[in-house]
């Protein structure tokens, strides 16, 4: 394995352990899938570049979730944790009329149509990272940038670089190398 992917993988795992408050003595304990996915979302923030805007320059990283998201508990545990540039994460419920206030929007299989419609109306270069929980190829939604899915007892992710580019985001080449699929 090359040095750069190994470094990124080490950083991702280190971030996971820090997020979960684990120590090496706890390494044998299984990690809940939702907690692991929340750790991935946290780490995605570290390896994606956002366009310059007032929204990105704000004091907090706003991670928006849906009320019935299977990741709601795990993502809420990120509240207040310092992320990129020491800025804390603020977890809030997604409101269709205010999606452009989010830096990260976490979707899932049961995402209401109103949220998907509002996502489609965002202007180009909107700067909202869309992460889907539940499959490598979210059906019929070309606006999903990263999708998470369980596979063989692990969580893997795929990156839609076209959607990220349309949204004004730049995905680190190190993150792209770790993705199960990138298109």
Whole domain around residue 83: which residue ranges?
Answer: 3-182
Number of domains, the chain: 1
The predicted-structure confidence for 4-33, as pLDDT tens digits, reads as follows 445 445 545 455 444 444 445 455 678 899
pLDDT at site 22? 47
Nearest by Cα to 134 from 119, 147, 115:
147
What percent of the chain has pLDDT above 90? 54
Mode of pairing for the β-strands spanning 170-171 and 181-182: unpaired
Residue 127 reports pLDDT greater than 80: yes
Cα distances from 32 to residues 35, 71, 155, in angstroms, run 5, 11, 11
**90 vs 153, higher pLDDT:** 90
C-alpha 42/C-alpha 119 separation (Å) is 21
**Both ends of the chain: CA-CA distance in Å?**
22
Q: In sequence order, which residues have a C-beta less than 8 Å from that of residue 13 and are 6 or more positions away?
A: none
Residue 141 pLDDT: 60
CATH number of the structural domain spanning residue 92: 3.40.50
CB 99 within 8 A of CB 115: yes
Q: What is the pLDDT of residues 53-98, one digit of tens each?
A: 655 556 799 999 999 899 999 999 999 999 988 999 999 999 999 9
């Amino acid at each position: 394995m090359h040095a750069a992917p190994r470094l990124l993988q080490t950083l991702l795992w280190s971030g996971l352990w820090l997020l979960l408050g684990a120590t090496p003595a706890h390494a044998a304990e299984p990690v809940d899938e939702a907690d692991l996915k929340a750790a991935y979302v946290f780490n995605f923030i570290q390896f994606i570049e956002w366009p310059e805007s007032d929204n990105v320059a704000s004091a907090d990283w706003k991670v928006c979730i849906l009320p019935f998201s299977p990741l709601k508990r795990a993502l809420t545990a990120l509240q207040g944790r310092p992320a990129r540039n020491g800025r804390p994460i603020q977890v809030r419920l997604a409101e269709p009329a205010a999606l452009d206030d989010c830096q990260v929007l976490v979707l899932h299989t049961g995402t209401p149509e109103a949220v998907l419609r509002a996502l489609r109306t965002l202007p180009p270069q909107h700067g909202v990272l869309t992460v889907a929980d539940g499959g490598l190829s979210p059906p019929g939604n070309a606006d999903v940038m990263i999708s998470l899915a369980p596979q063989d007892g692990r969580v893997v992710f795929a990156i839609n670089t076209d959607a990220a580019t349309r949204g004004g985001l730049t995905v680190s080449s190190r993150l792209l190398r770790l993705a199960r699929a990138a298109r």
